[in-house]
Amino acid sequence: MGRTQSNGPATGDSQILTDLLPQAAETGDLNRRAHVVARLMGRPVQQRDAHVLCDLTGADDDPALRATAAQVLGHHECAARFPEVCDRLANYMKEDPDLVAAKSIAFALRGTPGAWVAVDSDRPAVQVEGLLGVPLTKPGDWCKGFEAYFGSLSPEAKSVFLRRCQADESAADAAVEFLLSAELAEANGDPEVAAATLFQVLDQGALYRALTHPPAGITRTYREIWPGLLRRERREVLFGLLEEAVVAGGAAPSLVRAVAAQALEAAGSAAVGQTRASRTLLLSLGREGGRRLVVECQRLGAGASDGELRALVGLLTTILRVLPSLADEVEAVLGEWDPRVPGARLRAFHARLVAR
């Protein structure tokens, strides 16, 4: 690393910062060090101070001093406040040979586009720090994240990314959009295995909605874009991964609500994916998940219009065919609705006859 050019002599508060930093970087008296660090974190950092700290972060002498300066910048979110600092820090991080200093600089870049530079690092610990701080608020952010996940992320970094996906319901929509359109011919490993792991942590209800109501920009094509698969087949593969996730971890409440809500949306029409959901997905729910779906249908039916109620009757009839052990529960609900939907009870009887 080359020594950076200073923005001029430190004065006032900046001088106090530069006087305190060497003390904070010392590894001797831990109590004294903790006291100095507390003073550093408690002091306000203005733009000039941030530039002085940035100069120190780019210095080529003491890695402990570089790391401490970066940590102070990160604590005060200077990279987000002063974009010119962000660009400099990203360059320092790529060049810094010391792992602790590089991680500290990645920490200083949290919440900024510069954190993606850390994700692109070939050092797993720096990748992890970057993924903890990258913004995931826009579709483009998620796309970068999924490209990294299916690309060269270390196992430790993948675990961090999966935790972020699990904590954000919008990740499911972004994942489906990405997987329906992305080129994965150069993926690191089997993309279907990586997608299956991803689907284990994504919100099931959001996944179901995304797979049955694909983004408007996605159109079917026969062009090969996933090894051995056509894009028109991808949705079927992804639906299968959702079903595997349900079998492995049980049906999430969000999935139960989403399936029942889709029946209302599909009233008078055939919603995309409803046939698939009516068969294999319902089977994957198992008895407990199916029972909760019956209860959810009953709840929605209390305020449903006649058309919506007919759609719920259709869903319950399918549940009875696929999960015949729920016949008593389904028939009890359809019996309540028979006055409003004549023949509902008879449909249940016929469904029981053909139940597999």
Query: Quick one: 94 and 178 in the same domain?
Result: no
Phi-psi region of 214 (alpha: psi -120 to 50; beta: other; left: phi over 0): beta
Query: Quick one: 242 and 317 in the same domain?
Result: no
Query: Quick one: 101 and 145 in the same domain?
Result: no
More confident residue, 29 or 45: 45
Query: Quick one: 156 and 103 in the same domain?
Result: no
Any idea what the CATH number is for the domain that residue 124 is in? Answer: 1.25.40
Query: Quick one: 173 and 244 in the same domain?
Result: yes
Question: What local confidence, expressed as pLDDT, does residue 146 receive?
Answer: 95
Query: Quick one: 268 and 234 in the same domain?
Result: no
Query: Quick one: 316 and 343 in the same domain?
Result: yes
For residue 166, pLDDT over 50 is answered with yes
What is the rounded CA–CA span in Å between residue 325 and residue 186? 46
Which tens digit of pLDDT belongs to each residue from 222-231?
A: 444 444 455 5
Residue with tokens 């060090």: 33
Last residue of a domain, one of 220, 249, 278: 249
pTM: 0.81
For residue 117, pLDDT over 90 is answered with yes
Question: What local confidence, expressed as pLDDT, does residue 69 receive?
Answer: 86
| Residues β-bridged to residue 230 | 224
Query: Quick one: 73 and 118 in the same domain?
Result: yes
Query: Quick one: 126 and 2 in the same domain?
Result: yes
Query: Quick one: 347 and 265 in the same domain?
Result: yes
Which tens digit of pLDDT belongs to each residue from 248-303?
A: 999 999 999 999 998 888 765 544 444 445 578 999 999 999 999 999 999 999 98
Query: Quick one: 100 and 189 in the same domain?
Result: no
Residue with tokens 């080129």: 183
- Domains: count for the chain: 3
Dihedral sign, CA of 96, 101, 104, 108? negative
- Beta strand spans in the chain (E): 224-226, 229-230
Last residue of a domain, one of 75, 100, 130: 130
Q: What domain range is 84 assigned to?
A: 1-130
CB atoms within 10 A of CB 189: 9
- Residue pair 95/60 in contact (Cβ under 8 Å)? The answer is no
Q: Tokens for 267?
A: 């009233």
Last residue of a domain, one of 110, 130, 150: 130
Query: Quick one: 2 and 125 in the same domain?
Result: yes
What is the rounded CA–CA span in Å between residue 45 and residue 53? 9
Buried b (16+ CB within 10 A) or exposed e, 239-273: bbbbbebbeeeebbebbbbbbbebbbebbeeeeeb
Q: Tokens for 292?
A: 């909760």
